[in-house]
Every structure is written in C-alpha cells, then in structure tokens.
Amino acid sequence: MKIALVGIGKIALDQHVPALAASPDWELAATVSRNGAVDGVEAWRDLDAMLEARSDIRVVSLCLPPVPRFDYAMKALQAGRYVMLEKPPGATLSECALLERAAHDLQLGIFATWHSREAAMVAPAKAWLADKTITSGRITWREDVRKWHPGQDWVFEPGGMGVFDPGINALSILTEILPRPVHLRAATLEFPENRQTPIAAHLHLSNGIEADFDWRQEGPQTWSIELETDHGTLALHDGGARLVIDGAVSAAPDATLSGEYPRLYARMAELVRAGQSDMDLSPMVLVADAFTLGRRVTAAPFHF
C-alpha cells in the first residue's frame, strides 16, 4: 500500500522512514514537509496539492507537532485517506473526538499510535498483571530535552505538552498493562518562568501509583515503571525493553525502540485492510487531568 509521510523531522527520519523501508506492507510514495525530505521519495511542500495529485496514496501518516495536526488529519480524511497519528494524537481531546467521528462518518479508519506500548516486554507485563491487584507503584521517566528535542521551542509553547511529551509514553504503557483503569488524584507541575509548558511533573494516581517526570536529566536516561502487587513485584525498565518479575529478568534482544515502529505500521496495515479505527485516548486523558488538577510551581528559566 502506498503511504505519505507528513512532517519530516527527527522522529520521522529516525523511526518512521526505516520502519516503512523494512515493511512488506508499505511503499513510502511521498513526503510533505516545509523543511525536510527523504532521498528517492517524491517531496511536496503542500498537503492539498499532494492529495489532489496522488489519489493512489491510500494512507497519510502525520508526524507533525500536535497543534497543527488536526487540520492536516481532517484534510486527509476528507480526501478519502486513512490517517495514522504520531503521539500524542492531537493537542486536545475534543479535536481527537472530532477526528474519530469524521473517520467513522466517512467510512475510513484512523489510528492514534502509542509507540511505547510496542516495546518488547509490554505484552508479557500485561499478561502477568492480568489477575493481580496493584497495591502501589512508581514511575520514573527522566530524560534530556536537549537530546531528544534540540532547539525545538514548540515543545514549550501552548499545545507542546512540555515534559508530558515523553511522560505520556509512560502513561501509555501504564494504561495498557494495568488490569483495571487508574485515575489522577493530584499533580504538581513545574513551569520554567520563561516557558508555557512544564519541564517536570509529579502525579499521584489511584492504586498508590506515583509518577515522576523530568526533562532535565543529563547522562543516562531513565524510563522505568515499578509495580507492587498482591502476588509479587513487576518492573519495566529501559522504556519497556527489560522486564523484571520478582528478580527474574527478561530482556529484549534488540535496542529499546527498534521494534516499536515496525509493529505500529503492521497494526496500521491491519486496520486499513479491515476498515477499522483504533483511537484509545486513555493516556491523553490522564495528561489533560494533570493540567486540570495540577498545582503550578515556578522553576528556573530554561534555555536550549
């Protein structure tokens, strides 16, 4: 199937392009970007022009920042294309609901992707927890914004989500593996005095689960979820690549991210063939609740 990739930045080049190149399901037939391109692939600067000229392209994958994504997704749907959304699927819950409704009304499909759910040990963790009761937990998700979003000021603008850009990855795993839903009880959000979105956050969730997100960690990055249950302890480390259950370690044979995007594109192919959508917004609900309930504190200015 032919697919167009919209928004050719770091995540597109590092993850989407290699995943598509290795897939038996997809042909990357076009890109749309004001600043980037992929060697050997037809490049466009305008989505409308591409949609009009390339009726053979059945699917559009959007790697844009969250704020402009809604308009692009709606245009693609109205042009009769299936749509794949990089996480988070939008800037607001209401626009995500509108996109899902539009896809349904147009008899198309839309996919809100959560790449961290595709980490190798997430499914085994979910299976082990299925009959357990969670008694407490700790999420530690700390990384360096300068490494992952170098000079990208949009992450600190309204709609950019700040530290929840990586933090939502942890919440996507949590909402996938827990046998029952959780909800937010309270939050503290640290906003640099010169920025519009938080650089750190602490969440108090039900079932005694605490989450610590920070975008200022240099050196080794930390992506861990540890859960106490009525039948032992489970921990996911390295973003879901390593699973520890009561001291017994299971680890993915490959790098943390190497299998995530190939699995997302395999799932997208399934959805297109079945004419279905997958728009689970539960991680985004928790982030929205954090902005609603969160106590705001001021942190030192941040500069790239």
In this structure, which amino acid lies at residue 273? Answer: R
Give the single-character DSSP code of 27.
E
Question: What residues contact residue 16 under an 8 Å CB cut-off, 6+ apart?
Answer: 5, 61, 63, 261
Decide if 2 is catalytic. no
* Enclosing H/E stretch for 261: helix 260-274
Q: Which of 2, 10, 75, 87 is flagged as catalytic? A: 87
Rounded-to-integer distance, Cα 265 and Cα 86, Å: 11
The residues near 236 (Cβ < 8 Å, ≥ 6 apart) are: 119, 121, 122, 125, 173, 177, 224, 225, 226, 242, 243, 244
Q: How many helices (H) and strands (E) does the chain have?
A: 10, 15
Name 227's bridge partners.
137, 234
67 vs 7, 62, 93, 99, 118, CA distance in Å?
13, 12, 12, 14, 25
Tell me which amino acid residue 164 is. Answer: F
Residues with catalytic function? 87
